[in-house]
A and B are shown apart, each in its own frame.
Chain A
Amino acid sequence: MAEQNPQHGRRQHFHRGRRGQDRRGNERRGPSPAQSPEQGGREHRDHVDVEQIMREIRSRISQRHGIELTTQQIQELAARRLEAILDPRTVKPSLLEQIRRSTTTPVDAPAAAEPAYSFEDTTLYDSHRGSLRFIRRLLNPLLKLFFNPNPLISALNAQTKLNQAAAQREAERDRRQAEWNALHYEILHRLVLEVSRTSLEAQQLSMRVDALSAKVDFAERRARSIEGSLHQARPSPRHESAPPPASVAQLPREPSTTESSSTPAAQESSTGEGGRRRRRRRRGRRPQGFTPEGAAIGAGAAVVESRTTEGGEPPYVDDADDDEGPDAGDEGEAFDASLSPVEPASASQAEVGPEPEPPVQPAQALAPAEAPLETQAESAPNEPADRPLPTEPFGD
């Protein structure tokens, strides 16, 4: 787009390098700390910084549109695409240029076709010398004694008229062809322009999707860390059930020893397919507990969860998996890993964790420790549906 830039070919700013983001042109449009409208409003009550306002404006424009091209730049882009389509190896550049010119200049009406020659009955005897013309006319009757020139004259006269008509037709055809060429070029040009616009738009949308998915990822991570902090806030159910309170107090230290091995990657590799399966399940369930809508659904999920626990799978398994990652939520899984002396017989066993203690009844295991979580899940439906997220929203 350098051609489009009015500053193209000009040197940099007087104070190049001094003003950082304050340089002209695209450099000036670089990302800058956006100022909230409130801040701006508060600021301009006392003082206005035009440069800052312009940065805000440009930043907003670029955020709104992603790829920012002016109409002229899009047209330039389209022109280049058109040239790429009309391969110069197969289409003469001069022809393209000629057609392009013909679209901008109106097609002239064909000039009246000049007859190549005219042939009348006097043409045979014509001369620029008057005396010679007179002598020929004088001797004309004598000439006609030798042959009849009339058929010759009429034939050539008719040929002249035919030539004129043909020339006119040719000119008209040329004019129409030029018009068609111009029309075709214009249509093609507009189509390419539209395609360019559409592809840019698609690109913008794709960038937008990327940005949104990044936000979603971020939101997930944030939710996971919040979830982890909740787990940190309450003791693990299994610790509550078996060991005395003193040993429970020591438990938080244990994850730190195994934390390095309980990173997501490590867990993936160590748990293999089972880990992947757990991740899939988590993704399906996570939003229920941590969004207002999910909280409402969470009540149903709690029922399903309790059914699962009744089936023999301790409930802490999912909770521990949910806390996968370097946050405090690793506690459960790290504990499982550190306590598993034998190879799990199956994925479900691995998830449950072959604890040395006798298997406890899920309901019992849950009773003291899971209470906060269950309370949370059960109380969620009673909360207002539009309850704000615990932290500031991650959206726009």
Chain B
Amino acid sequence: MKLVIVVQRYGADINGGAELHARYVAERLATHADVRVLTTCARDYVTWRNEWPPGEEIVHGIPVERFAVTRERDTIDFRDRSERLFRDRHSVKDELDWLDSQGPTSPTLMKRLARVADECDFVILFSIRYGPAFHGARLAAHKAVLVPTAERESSLGLSIFPPVFRGVRAIMYNSFEERAMITALSSNADTPGVVVGIGSQIPDAVDPERARRTFDLPNPYLIYVGRIDVNKGCADLFRHFIEYAERTTRALDLVLIGTPVLPIPDHPRIRHLGFVADQDKFDAIAGAEALVMPSPYESLSMVALEAWALGRPVLASARCDVLVGQCLRSNAGLYYEDAREFAAALDRILSDPALAATLGRNGRAFFTRHYSWPVIERKYLDMFDELRRTPASSDMEPLPGWLARRARTSPPAADVVNALPQGPVVERQHAEHR
């Protein structure tokens, strides 16, 4: 079986969610199929500057073909277009221009995909919001298996996306919430789809004591791993934690791992370790009382899964449907909406070691049951088998013609997303697992 993976960036040192997801999937499926990756020369997801040379290279045993991006992102133009599309009525052409403005745009990548699509069995495309996945899905619709990695953000409400969700061969969702959202958005119930998610490469042995010694962590601590950013809910986390620290007598620290985009408060109980090696990260997570995940927008939190894999409970933001859904389905984490709930849930975990241990055990079982690599590989392979057996049901709907493309008929994207149903999905998952 020949598989082509299309993703906007690819590299051993790329740690972005979808890109890491793509790399893991490529490396895992390489044991079952002949996998080739088509990507751009960009390393930075903001500028899309060509930093790798075009051509073919091998990354962790996977052949990777890189293609140049034609132009870097003009951030001001992109911001203005985004605001207009999210707020006002607009045309399909506006949306396509927005997609180009966002980048990365690589016509050579598309030409190459058009050629190899006929030679391979399936094309797996990552992240619908980027040009390579969107145009690639339209180009190779009859073989396209989409991994949308869609979050509840305004861009999802653009009218160019639903036809793609309906027209690809299959969709590999990251979560039940994502599937429910996309189904509600595009009425694509006929499109085969399965909730897969992503595994993680958990080391065989972790040593919390090593992390305590290395980073001088004498007190119990709550840990956050990821980009320290307002968009990730870190500002709220700081506020909640400082408020909690002022009220409690517990000696609890907040340990942060990741690159700061947001200024970190100068507080004696907040420790920033910076960017650390994977082993250190896992050691630190294993030694934490709980992992906190304040992000309101996650299509799947790999860090939360890693914490569960290590048997640690998770304290998640209740504003993120996916995280709440995972906490409920796994019975392995608590969630909070505001500072009081944050404090109460944290107190509950800290004051009841038996509860924390049970949550951790549940998390480990949840991870093993749904997110271990054999399970994920099996879901991909089963989907490929199913697609091979059944012919494509329908073609991709074409884009509107010249005139219709310019008609300002598309509603504000933010309104579309706001109108989508929300909330964690619990019963559906249970039924499916039964």
Contacts and interface: CB of A to CB of B under 8 A. Distances in A.
B422 A7 contact: yes
A10 B419 contact: yes
A7 B428 CA distance: 22
B339 A70 contact: yes
A12 B296 CA distance: 18
Contacts of B419: 10-11
A44 B344 CA distance: 17
A18 B421 CA distance: 14
A13 B181 CA distance: 11
Contacts of B420: 10-11
Given A61-B340, A70-B338, A48 B427 contact: no
B423 interface: yes
B299 interface: no
A61 B334 contact: no
A53 B420 CA distance: 28
A68 B354 CA distance: 30
Interface in B395-431: 418-428
A51 interface: yes
Contacts of B318: 24
A146 interface: no
Contact of A57 (B341, B358, B421): B341
Interface in B326-368: 327-328, 331-335, 338-341, 344-345, 348, 352, 354-355, 358-359, 362
A7 B324 CA distance: 14
A6 interface: yes
B2 interface: no
Nearest to A7: B422
A9 interface: yes
Contact of A50 (B180, B296, B327, B352): B327
Contact of A61 (B319, B327, B328, B341): B341
Contact of B423 (A9, A15, A53, A71): A15
A61 B344 contact: yes
Given A48-B359, A53-B348, A10 B418 contact: yes
Interface size class of B (residues with CB under 8 A): 35 or more
Contacts of A54: 334-335, 345
Chain A, interface residues (CB within 8 Å), range: 20 to 34
A295 B407 CA distance: 87
Interface string B239-261: 00000000000000000000000
A175 interface: no
Contacts of A58: 341
Contacts of B339: 70-71
Contact of B334 (A12, A53, A71): A53
Contact of A9 (B331, B344, B418, B424): B418
A45 interface: yes
Secondary structure at the A interface, as helix, strand, loop or mixed, is loop
B331 A48 contact: yes
Contact of B427 (A15, A45, A47, A68): A15
A14 interface: yes
Nearest to A13: B423
B93 to A, nearest CB: 28
A155 B252 CA distance: 75
A346 to B, nearest CB: 61
A53 B423 CA distance: 18
A6 B296 CA distance: 10
Interface string A329-347: 0000000000000000000
Contacts of B423: 12-15, 23-24
Question: Which residue, of B335, B418, B422, B427, has the highest number of chain A Cβ atoms within 10 A?
Answer: B422
Nearest to B423: A13
B353 to A, nearest CB: 11
Nearest to A56: B348
Given A41-B354, A44-B358, A50-B333, A14 B425 contact: yes
Contacts of B331: 47-50
Given A50-B328, A70-B339, A12 B344 contact: no
A60 interface: yes
B59 to A, nearest CB: 39
Contacts of A45: 354, 358
Interface string B38-52: 000000000000000
Interface centre among A9, A13, A19 (most CB of B within 10 A): A13
Given A11-B419, A14-B180, A14-B421, A57 B355 contact: no
B341 A48 contact: no
Contact of B355 (A18, A23, A44): A44
Contacts of B352: 41, 44
A10 B422 contact: yes
A54 B334 CA distance: 7
Contacts of A65: 340
From A47, A57, A70, name the one whose CB has the most chain B CB atoms within 10 angstroms: A57
B120 to A, nearest CB: 36
A117 B424 CA distance: 69
B278 to A, nearest CB: 29
Interface string A56-74: 0110110001001011000
A135 B298 CA distance: 80
Contact of B354 (A14, A44, A51): A44
Nearest to B324: A24
Contacts of B358: 44-45, 47-48
Given A7-B422, A11-B420, A48-B355, A18 B341 contact: no
A63 B347 CA distance: 17
Contacts of B332: 50
B170 to A, nearest CB: 22
B421 to A, nearest CB: 5
Given A9-B418, A18-B427, A48-B362, A57 B354 contact: no
Nearest to A14: B421
A14 B321 CA distance: 11
18 contacts: A6-B296, A7-B422, A10-B419, A11-B420, A13-B423, A14-B421, A24-B318, A24-B423, A24-B424, A41-B354, A45-B354, A50-B331, A50-B359, A57-B334, A57-B341, A57-B344, A57-B348, A60-B344
Given A48-B362, A50-B332, A61-B340, 16 more contacts: A7-B422, A9-B418, A10-B422, A12-B421, A14-B180, A14-B421, A14-B422, A14-B423, A14-B425, A41-B352, A44-B352, A48-B355, A50-B327, A50-B328, A57-B348, A58-B341
Interface of B: 180, 296, 318-319, 327-328, 331-335, 338-341, 344-345, 348, 352, 354-355, 358-359, 362, 418-428
Please provide the 6 A-B residue pairs with the shortest distance between their CB atoms, ordered closest to farther: A13-B423, A57-B344, A48-B358, A44-B355, A11-B421, A50-B331
